[in-house]
Every structure is written in structure tokens, then in C-alpha cells.
């Protein structure tokens, strides 16, 4: 059974944990939202996230659209009753702006759904990048020890002794905010933590017999690291990965919130909260829905991690 | 133990030097933006170059860095570009505000988190345990920038109990501090609950607790006298590490509530590339990180008889 097989098994085992299953369901809900976002637009169930409808609509406002343009300030419900089935059917559409619109007139529902896509691309991708950097370093430091370990550990401590968010701000103000730079900053800031976990596991395992056996067989160092050592670290790493994706989601949200996030037109939950912060007193819906979205997604990942920990303890 | 502290201090000095050098080098890449933030976006190139020249930004890097370190050791961190005051003065003023906030948060989070964690971990799987665990996982999942609008709408706009901003313009005001503290407590408490709970569960499964229960001790005695002592070791270390996290969390909250603290200062100066203030803030951050970690480790040694007696 390869590494991927073991990975799937870890998820499969989750079905025994109700908490984990709730987490899976929440995450899946957002994944499906992200995947189907374009389809929903194509079916004109939601607007395009950049299309402007009518600014400052409250949730559940009935609206009539005439060829993509919105007619307002008419007795909407009565007209809608006339339209449906009448001769103008098709030319006019009746609908409801479920979650209202923001100050520019973009539909909140569609921006929340498209925001799920943004966050579900960037958070796992950034976490993956951090793993790609942190895992090999942790393995080699734990396995070899000596000056490699000392140097890498010092660098890791250097980065970890600094508040994460400050680190992000400094990196991003230095290199500018763009999608690549956010990935870079997240990788830079979270790989030391991964390094520490992997190093600990490698340090613990390197004196085991099967490693000695592999060394005697004349296996290459890389093979020992990735085939013999790494699979044994999968338990803590998987749990950490789930927690970390959730945490990275928060971090990306915070970056959007303080204005260092993804460039503006991108639907980004943190950015949405920031943009509507000033109007919170009159139009709370603009900030509240993205807040609910990000909180549920993070909750999903946290429950998933919890379930995995529970299952791996039973295992 | 003296060895531990000495090693930590050496390590901290190394960290500070490395970090300050990196920050200095990072500024080197984009000196122009410093001048731009002072002289405004429409200043011409000559004016900016002259400003940089006059303020000593064009001296060779080793010289400037050496000068900065020399002054910093004596407590002189230079002058802030955007605030036009002594760096140490503005950082100290803001740090005091944040210490008040962080102190309040920690004063609530630590006892509350430990109490809830112990209550939950006492009987694993009980209804109370499930309720506390679920609540704590939910509160940790709501980031500060999401819970702040929720609470703002609820307590400020609907109920009208509290002021919306915490600028502290007319001196210290308890009403203004409630919202920032509440947001930070909600986010941080869950983590401590979970750590305490895990630690408590582990202790409750140990043989000596079983013995204590079996020999007929009162449940209260078992928990208070036998279980708590060992169960609180890990949370103590975690709480000390939590200070470092708090420094990140404080940025969001201070920005949201316009609280004039260290976090807001950091955000401001990082955006304006006010290098001397950034350097000073970074040194403070390292000091907090290493300091709390060291206190945590010393406390762990003092509290843990296994290590305490092994050493002596």
C-alpha cells in the first residue's frame, strides 16, 4: 500500500467518528460550492461575482431584472405575478437577492460562493507549499543531526519567534501583494512549524532497527528519508495539515482584512469584511455573511482534524 | 537553571542580531519608498534623493547598521519617520496600551480556559465534556475579524451597551476595552481549554488516580489534590507560549477597534516602512517570544518534580 493508499485509508477511517463526518460534510459543502460556482452562474441562479446589480440591497430583496438590468422601486411582487406565465415571460426575470448586495452592487451570495473557490485554492495550495519546504528539511535535520540540524533549527526558531502576522505584513510590504507573494509568505511562515514536527518524528525514529536495516542494505539517504521515515510521520502530519489549512484560511482572511490580501476584484472573504466594515451599522449583512462563511469553513477543517486525531488514537 | 537562562539570553541576542540585520537588508531593496512615505507620493526624485542623503540613508550599510546597534544597546532606537518622535517613546507608549489589553485577556483566558478544560477532562465523553469541547472548537474556528463584526452588531448596534471604537481618546475607559478583550478571549480560550482537557484526560487515566479513587478518596480531593497538579503542567507552558500568539491577534483587534496599541503600531509602520520603528518593534517581539518561552520552561522545571529532583 503506497503513501496515497494510506492517505485515503486515513480519510476512510473517519467514517467512524461523527465529529469528523460533520467536518467532512462542511468542507465538502464548500468544495461543492467552489466547484459549481460557474455552473450556478451559467444557470443564472446567481450573478457573476463582478456583475453590479443594484447597490445596498438588504437580504431577501425581491428584484426584477430586465435583460440583465434591474428595475427597482416598483411593486415588485405584483409585477412578478403578472410576468410569470404572462406574455413578457423570459424578457423579464423575477428573483430574490438572497443575501443582498454590497456597496458597489455586487451580489453577496455570488461573492461568498466565489470566495469559497478563492480560499479553497489558496489555503490548501499554500499549506502544500509549506509542506514541500518543511518536510524534507525536517527529515534531513532529524535524521542527520549535527550542524545541519543546528543551522536549520536556528533558522526555524528565528522565524517562529516572530508573530506570524507581523511576518506576513513585513514580507508582503516588502515584496508587494500578489497571489504568488501570499503563497510565498505563508510558506515562509508556516514551514518552520512543519519542520519542527517532522524533525521530532525523524529524531525519534532514526535509531529504530528498520532504519539501521535500510542503512545496511545500502539504501540511499533520500530513499530512507521518504520511504522509510516519512510514512511513519503521516498520523501527526495529516492532523496538522487539516488544522493548518484551517489556520491558513484564517491567515489569508486576515491579510484580506487588513488590506494586504489578494488583489481587489478577487472575491475574498477577508477583503469583503474589510470593505464593508464602515457600513456595518446600517448594512450588517455585507460583513456578516462572509464572516459566517469563513467561520464554518475553518470549523469544518478543525472538526476534520479532531476526527482524525480521534480515529488515529483508536487505530 | 542558570545555564538555561544564560543559553536563552545568548540565543535571544543572536536572534535579535540576525533579525535586525535581515530587516535592515530588506529595507535596502526599497529605500525610495521611505522617502516617499515622508515626502508624499508626488515628490520628485531629486527631493527624495536629497532627503535620503541628508538623513544618512546613503551611508554604507555596515556603518549604518553598526551605528544603529550601538545606539540601540544604549536604548536609543532612533527617530520615527512618520510619527516624528523618539522611537522608544512611541513604542513604549503603545506597548503599555497593549500590555493592558493583553494582561486583561490573559487574566481572563488562563483561569477560564483551565477551569473549563478541567471540567471537560474530568470525565471524558460525558455530556459536559462534549458540550465544552464543541463550544471551544467553534469559538477557535471563528477568526477575530469575523467575531468582531458579529459582536459589534450584537452588543453595540442592537443592544447599544458598548461603544463601537476603543480609541481611548479621553484617557482610559473600561467600557471601551470590553469589546477588544471579548473578541480576543473568545478566540484564545478554546485552545487552552483543549490543551488542558487533553492533559487532564491523560492524568485521569493514570494508575495513581485510579488508586486514589479506589482507596475511597472523595472525588473532590482526587481532582483538586492529585489530578490538578500534574494536569496543569502542559497548560502552563502553553499559556506562556500564548503571549506570542496574542501579539498577532492583537493586530487585528486593535485595527478593528482603532485601539492605539502595539499591534496597530506595527501594522502602521510596516505599511509605511518606518524602518527604525519596525526594528524596535521586532526587538520587542523577540524579547516577548523568548522571554515568555524561558519563563515557561523555568516554570515547568520548578513545577515538575521529575525534572526538579533529577537536576538537584
- Given a cut of 60, whether residue A66 has pLDDT beyond it is no
The mean pLDDT of A280-292, rounded to a whole number, is: 83
| Chain B interface includes A257 (CB < 8 A) | yes
- Supply the pLDDT for residue A211: 84
The model's pTM is 0.86
Min CA distance, B257 vs chain A (Å)?
A: 11
Of A173, A273, A303, the CB nearest to B271: A173
| Lowest-confidence pick of A82-86, A96-100, A104-108, A240-244 | A82-86
**Residue B212 in contact with residue B222, Cβ under 8 Å?**
yes
B174 C-beta neighbours (distance < 10 Å), count: 8
Bigger pLDDT: A64 vs A244:
A244
Q: How confident is the model at residue A53 (pLDDT cuts 50, 70, 90)?
A: low
CATH number of B87-311: 1.10.3720.10
Taking the C-alpha atoms of residue B39 and residue A245, their distance in angstroms, rounded to an integer, is 41
Could you tell me which chain A residue has the CA closest to the CA of B257? A277
Q: How confident is the model at residue A60 (pLDDT cuts 50, 70, 90)?
A: low
| Lowest-confidence pick of A129-133, A171-175, B53-57 | B53-57
A299 and B137: CB-CB below 8 Å?
Answer: yes
Q: How confident is the model at residue A315 (pLDDT cuts 50, 70, 90)?
A: low
Taking the C-alpha atoms of residue A257 and residue B22, their distance in angstroms, rounded to an integer, is 27
- Supply the pLDDT for residue A64: 60
DSSP B165: -
- Given a cut of 50, whether residue A203 has pLDDT beyond it is yes
pLDDT tens for B247-269 read 778 888 888 888 888 888 888 88
| Chain B interface includes A119 (CB < 8 A) | no
A86 C-beta neighbours (distance < 10 Å), count: 11
Domain with CATH 1.10.3720.10 in chain B: 87-311
Of B19, B140, B266, the CB nearest to A158: B19
| Chain A interface includes B247 (CB < 8 A) | yes
| Chain A interface includes B273 (CB < 8 A) | yes
- Given a cut of 90, whether residue A167 has pLDDT beyond it is no
Which residues does chain A have within 8 Å of residue B137's beta carbon, measured at their own beta carbons?
A: 299, 302-303, 306
| Chain B interface includes A58 (CB < 8 A) | no
Query: Which stretches within chain A are classed as H helix?
Result: 3-13, 18-42, 76-83, 108-144, 146-160, 164-175, 179-205, 209-217, 221-223, 234-257, 269-276, 285-314
Which residues does chain B have within 8 Å of residue A274's beta carbon, measured at their own beta carbons?
A: 145
pLDDT tens for A86-95 read 555 555 566 6
Mutation target among B12, B98, B149, B257 for the A interface, most CBs of A within 10 A? B149
**Residue B202 in contact with residue B151, Cβ under 8 Å?**
no
Rg (CA), chain A: 24
Of B18, B244, B278, the CB nearest to A163: B244
Phi-psi sector, A106: left (phi>0), alpha (psi -120 to 50), beta = beta
The mean pLDDT of A279-295, rounded to a whole number, is: 85
- Supply the pLDDT for residue A87: 58
The mean pLDDT of A24-32, rounded to a whole number, is: 92
Which residues does chain A have within 8 Å of residue B157's beta carbon, measured at their own beta carbons?
A: 280-281, 284
- Supply the pLDDT for residue A239: 85
Q: What is the ipTM of this complex?
A: 0.84
B282 and A273: CB-CB below 8 Å?
Answer: no
Mutation target among A58, A165, A312 for the B interface, most CBs of B within 10 A? A165
Q: Order of strands, edge to edge, in the sheet holding A61-66?
A: A69-71, A61-66, A92-97
Q: Which of B162, B208, B202 is nearest to B181 (CA)?
A: B162
- Supply the pLDDT for residue A68: 47
| Chain B interface includes A308 (CB < 8 A) | no
Grid cell in block for residue B61: 550599510
A294 and B143: CB-CB below 8 Å?
Answer: yes
Taking the C-alpha atoms of residue B112 and residue B15, their distance in angstroms, rounded to an integer, is 34
| Lowest-confidence pick of A66-70, A80-84, A120-124, A303-307 | A66-70
Min CA distance, B270 vs chain A (Å)?
A: 6
- Residues in B 160-179 with any Cβ partner in A closer than 8 A: 164
Name residues of chain B where pLDDT drops below 70.
307-312
Bigger pLDDT: B31 vs A152:
A152
Q: Is the dihedral of CA A8, A12, A13, A18 positive or negative?
A: positive
Q: Which of A63, A258, B43, B123 is nearest to B35 (CA)?
A: B43
| Chain A interface includes B142 (CB < 8 A) | yes
Cβ contacts of B177-181, under 8 Å, gap ≥ 24? B177/B100, B177/B101, B177/B104, B179/B148, B179/B151, B179/B152, B179/B155, B179/B257, B180/B101, B180/B253, B180/B254, B180/B256, B180/B257, B180/B259, B181/B101, B181/B104, B181/B105, B181/B108
Min CA distance, A126 vs chain B (Å)?
A: 18
Q: How confident is the model at residue A144 (pLDDT cuts 50, 70, 90)?
A: confident
- Supply the pLDDT for residue A132: 93
Average predicted confidence (pLDDT) for chain A: 80
Amino acid at each position: 500500500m503506497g503513501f496515497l493508499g494510506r492517505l485515503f485509508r486515513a480519510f476512510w477511517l473517519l467514517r467512524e467518528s461523527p465529529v469528523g463526518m460533520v467536518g467532512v460534510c462542511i468542507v465538502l459543502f464548500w468544495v461543492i460550492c467552489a466547484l459549481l460556482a460557474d455552473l450556478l452562474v451559467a444557470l443564472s441562479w446567481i450573478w457573476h461575482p463582478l456583475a453590479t446589480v443594484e447597490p445596498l440591497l438588504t437580504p431577501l430583496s425581491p428584484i426584477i431584472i430586465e435583460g440583465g438590468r434591474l428595475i427597482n422601486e416598483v411593486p415588485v411582487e405584483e409585477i412578478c405575478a403578472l410576468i410569470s406565465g404572462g406574455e413578457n415571460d423570459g424578457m423579464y426575470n423575477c428573483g430574490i437577492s438572497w443575501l443582498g448586495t454590497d456597496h458597489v452592487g455586487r451580489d453577496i451570495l455570488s461573492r461568498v460562493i466565489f470566495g469559497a473557490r478563492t480560499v479553497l485554492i489558496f489555503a490548501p495550495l499554500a499549506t502544500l507549499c509549506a509542506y514541500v519546504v518543511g518536510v524534507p528539511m525536517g527529515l534531513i535535520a532529524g535524521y542527520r543531526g549535527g550542524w545541519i540540524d543546528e543551522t536549520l533549527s536556528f533558522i526555524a526558531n528565528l522565524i517562529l519567534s516572530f508573530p506570524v502576522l507581523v511576518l506576513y505584513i513585513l514580507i508582503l510590504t516588502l515584496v508587494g501583494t500578489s497571489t504568488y507573494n501570499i503563497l510565498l509568505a505563508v510558506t515562509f511562515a508556516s514551514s518552520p512549524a512543519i519542520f519542527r514536527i517532522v524533525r521530532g518524528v525523524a529524531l525519534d525514529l532514526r535509531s529504530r532497527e528498520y532504519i539501521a536495516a535500510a542503512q545496511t542494505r545500502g539504501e540511499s539517504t533520500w530513499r530512507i528519508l521518504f520511504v522509510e521515515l516519512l510514512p511513519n510521520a503521516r498520523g501527526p502530519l495529516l492532523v496538522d495539515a487539516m488544522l493548518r489549512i484551517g489556520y491558513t484560511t484564517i491567515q489569508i482572511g486576515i491579510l484580506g482584512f487588513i488590506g494586504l490580501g489578494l488583489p481587489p476584484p478577487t472575491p475574498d472573504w477577508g477583503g469583503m469584511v474589510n470593505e464593508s466594515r464602515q457600513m456595518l451599522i446600517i448594512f450588517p449583512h455585507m460583513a456578516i455573511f462572509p464572516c459566517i462563511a469563513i467561520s464554518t469553513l475553518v470549523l469544518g477543517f478543525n472538526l476534520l482534524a479532531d476526527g482524525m486525531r480521534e480515529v488515529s488514537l483508536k487505530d | 537553571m542558570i545555564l538555561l537562562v544564560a543559553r536563552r539570553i545568548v540565543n535571544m541576542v543572536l536572534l535579535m542580531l540576525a533579525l535586525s540585520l535581515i530587516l535592515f537588508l530588506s529595507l535596502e531593496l526599497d529605500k525610495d519608498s521611505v522617502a516617499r512615505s515622508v515626502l508624499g507620493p508626488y515628490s520628485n526624485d531629486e527631493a527624495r534623493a536629497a532627503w535620503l542623503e541628508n538623513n544618512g540613508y546613503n551611508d554604507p550599510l555596515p556603518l549604518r547598521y553598526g551605528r544603529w546597534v550601538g545606539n540601540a544597546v544604549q536604548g536609543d532606537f532612533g527617530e520615527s519617520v512618520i510619527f516624528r518622535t523618539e522611537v522608544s517613546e512611541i513604542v513604549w507608549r503603545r506597548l503599555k496600551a497593549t500590555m493592558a489589553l493583553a494582561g486583561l485577556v490573559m487574566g481572563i483566558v488562563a483561569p477560564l480556559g483551565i477551569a473549563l478544560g478541567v471540567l471537560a477532562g474530568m470525565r471524558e465523553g460525558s455530556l459536559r465534556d462534549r458540550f465544552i469541547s464543541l463550544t471551544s472548537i467553534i469559538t477557535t474556528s471563528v477568526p477575530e475579524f469575523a467575531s468582531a463584526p458579529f459582536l459589534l452588531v450584537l452588543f453595540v448596534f442592537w443592544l447599544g451597551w458598548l461603544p463601537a471604537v476603543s480609541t481611548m481618546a479621553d484617557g482610559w475607559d473600561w467600557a471601551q476595552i470590553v469589546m477588544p478583550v471579548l473578541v480576543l478571549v473568545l478566540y484564545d480560550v478554546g485552545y487552552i481549554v483543549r490543551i488542558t482537557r487533553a492533559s487532564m484526560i491523560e492524568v485521569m487515566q493514570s494508575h495513581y488516580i485510579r488508586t486514589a479513587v479506589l482507596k475511597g478518596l472523595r472525588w473532590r480531593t482526587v481532582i483538586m489534590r492529585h489530578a490538578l497538579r500534574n494536569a496543569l503542567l502542559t497548560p502552563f507552558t502553553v499559556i506562556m507560549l500564548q503571549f506570542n500568539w496574542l501579539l498577532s491577534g492583537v493586530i487585528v483587534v486593535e485595527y478593528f477597534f482603532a485601539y492605539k496599541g502595539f499591534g496597530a503600531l506595527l501594522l502602521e509602520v510596516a505599511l509605511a516602512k518606518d524602518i527604525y520603528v519596525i526594528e524596535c518593534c521586532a526587538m520587542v517581539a523577540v524579547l516577548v517570544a523568548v522571554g515568555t518561552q524561558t519563563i515557561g520552561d523555568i516554570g515547568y522545571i520548578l513545577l515538575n518534580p521529575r525534572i526538579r529532583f533529577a537536576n538537584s
